[in-house]
Chains A and B, each alone.
Chain A
Amino acid sequence: MQRRTFAKMLAATALAGGGMAPALAAEELKIGAIGPLSGGGTAWGLALQRGVQLAIDKANAVGGLKIGNTPRKLRLAMVDGQYSATGGRTAAERLINLEKVKYIIGPIGSPASLGAVSVTNAAKVLMLSDGFNPNILKNDANAAYNFRVMNTNHEFGPSMIKWFREHYPQVKKVALVGTNDATGQSVLPALAKVYAASGFETWIEMFDRGTQEFTPLMTRMMAQHVDALDLNSNSPGDAGLLLKQARQTGFKGKIWQIGGPSVEEIMQVGGPLAEGFLSLEIFNPGDPAFQKFIAIYHAKWSGVMNSQTPLWNNAAEMLFEALRRAGSPDVDKVRDAVEHLGGYDPGLYGPVVWGGMAEYGVNHQQLLPFWIAEVKNGKEVIVDTVTPEKG
């Protein structure tokens, strides 16, 4: 009798629970994200995590993202891509198979993006990534489900080098120092070609990721009589150390970075030695929209805000708008909506512009405006605004 009563109670509880489930359980939608959360690129990984989180907070603050007629609470599932091909692939597999996500923001860097894209296209998972390697978009799947939401050296390189030629006509030979991996091996030769087209001579040197002692490399570089050093796609940590040790070994030429960007971190590492450093910048701290964003960021986190943060926030806002327009979480519909986002203004970088057909065979490359910044009197100052050449 007692057993029968207990069974009835159990059944009633199960029925009640089942009946109440749709009313009580909030509809949740996981947004996957991959970025380096360890090693030299960690500042970028945190930028991605925090940029996306701020967009999620904004959507959740008004009751969730309305997809069709259903508001959905968003939740971030962030995985460390370790800035490596293995890390990127493993992270993507984990997000797809364990977390069951359908949309991924990131990874950062070519190795991780190449590793992840081999998994996401096959699994029909939408990916909005970074990475300078052309093959991230020029892949076997013809980038069916992946987009790149950050300019690469192909987009900003020619415009920046043209700018450099005009402003520093005395520079004849430029050193390109980068990592001996998928990033360095694709970026350095490509950049060298663009430099050569603008009349510069180049000297290329690669080092193993994780190296901290660059003094011998700098001695080798100075023996080549270069006039400028381009830190190109180096992570904030590596770029800061390269700058610091170049100055400590007596290099007096111009140091700049067609890539990154990570001016704040380089100023942290280089201290007064960072004076005069020129860099690509992907946000304008003087712009009221960015100032508002910085204030929101600092209400939640202290310390330096990496300049990639607003860019990943922008990418998340684009994804959310595509979900709204698709009216359904169906990946194909969302992918189509992302493709048709042209003209939509997420709020920080102006209307979305897609390009890349000439270079990658698919219009999945976002073209973002960018700036050139210089460290003057220990502060980052925007010295010019540049627009990428549409390909």
Chain B
Amino acid sequence: MLSPVLLGQVLVNGLSLSAIYVLIALGFTLLFGIMRVVNFAHGAFAMLGGYALFYLYGVFKLPYVLAVPLGAAIVAVASLVLEFLVFRWFYQKMLQSMIGLLGLNLAIEFSAVLVWDVYQRSIPPAFPGVIRLGGLILPADRLMVIGIALVVLAAFWLFMRRTRYGLAMRAAAQDVEIAQSQGIDTRFVYRLAFVIAIFMAALAGGLYAQIYSLSPFMGDRPLLVAFVVVILGGMGSIPGAALGGVILGFTESFLSTFYGASVSSFVSFGVVILLLIVRPWGLLGTPESLRP
């Protein structure tokens, strides 16, 4: 069964899976890193991003390069209402946020059922078809996701490292009180981090819905993936999310191809359990005891 072409295909599949997983996990880890909020409503925002792209690109026929960021931006800005009503009460409350936001996730999901019904829809592909390279098959839309993931990662890294707001976010993440004493408006910083995190969840959700399918329940899997990736890489760590996504993507691609989907799930979750036992703070995370 093993051949250079097959091995190449496994690597290509792994790369595209990694890109999807990294994109999904970024917003999730950002909220935890800055505000210590475990956003179990992450999947619902991804789903809303899917519907936003469905209308902007699929129904209103906006150019794709405009529809993707605009859809995510609309969801992010509209979600400020939920930030005011729900999220802000859970900042720095890890356990409470898990349960509260799981409830919010269900509320958004079933509101979506009332609005859009349960039927699965598809968002028209922006880049249909496959590119054949030797014996390798590269679905064009997957290549696009890899490109977007790289751009988003780079932009996000630059924002956090090279801008004053990024610096303020890092300061607030390290110690809220000291950040406030230095004149940082932490309420604004939190709100900004929230908007960026939801923007990224919705962006990932739009692309996810386009690659797979769109329905009110489509966010359940991204939520699970985000959680696993972030646990693997380290809660709150951006490089950790990237590393976790890459590890999960390549592991799933390799094991599913050679040993089957069930073995892949078993090993992936087994590794997460093992990691939680020996290194509970993840590969690139910070132990709770070292946090301020």
Best-surrounded residue of A180, A213, A248 (most CB of chain B within 10 A) = A213
Which residues in B have their C-beta under 8 angstroms from that of A269?
Answer: 120-122, 213
Can you list, as one digit per residue, whether each of B132-167 has a CB less than 8 Å from chain A (1) or not (0)? Answer: 100001010110000000000000000000000000
Binds A, one of B79-87, B173-181, B233-241, B256-264: B256-264
A207 touches B119 (CB 8 A): no
Which residues in B have their C-beta under 8 angstroms from that of A250?
Answer: 130, 132, 137
Which residues in B have their C-beta under 8 angstroms from that of A268?
Answer: 119-122, 213
Q: Does B277 contact A (CB under 8 A)?
A: no
A216 touches B212 (CB 8 A): no
Of chain A, the residue at the smallest CB distance from B256 is: A216
B125 to chain A, nearest CB (A): 8
User: With contacts A42-B118, A205-B260 known, is A219 near B139, CB below 8 A?
Assistant: no
Q: Does A316 contact B (CB under 8 A)?
A: no
A220 to chain B, nearest CB (A): 5
- CA–CA, A206 and B260, complex, Å: 8
B-side interface residues, number (CB < 8 Å): 42
Which residues in B have their C-beta under 8 angstroms from that of A220?
Answer: 256-258, 260
- CA–CA, A271 and B252, complex, Å: 27
A-side interface residues, number (CB < 8 Å): 38
Binds A, one of B8-16, B70-78, B184-192: B8-16
Best-surrounded residue of B9, B17, B121, B139 (most CB of chain A within 10 A) = B9
A114 to chain B, nearest CB (A): 21
Which residues in A have their C-beta under 8 angstroms from that of B215?
Answer: 42, 237
Choose one: A216, A248, A265; the contact of B120 (CB below 8 Å): A265
Which residues in A have their C-beta under 8 angstroms from that of B213?
Answer: 212, 237, 240-241, 244, 268-269
- CA–CA, A39 and B132, complex, Å: 35
- B residues bordering A, Cβ < 8 Å? 1, 6, 9-10, 13, 16-17, 20, 117-122, 124-125, 128, 130, 132, 137, 139, 141-142, 212-213, 215, 217, 220-221, 224, 252-258, 260-262, 264-265
Query: Can you list 13 A-B contacts (CB < 8 A)?
Result: A43-B120, A205-B260, A207-B262, A210-B220, A210-B224, A215-B139, A216-B252, A217-B257, A219-B9, A237-B215, A240-B213, A271-B125, A303-B117
- A residues bordering B, Cβ < 8 Å? 37-40, 42-43, 46, 180, 205-208, 210-213, 215-217, 219-220, 223, 236-237, 240-241, 244, 248-250, 265, 268-272, 303-304
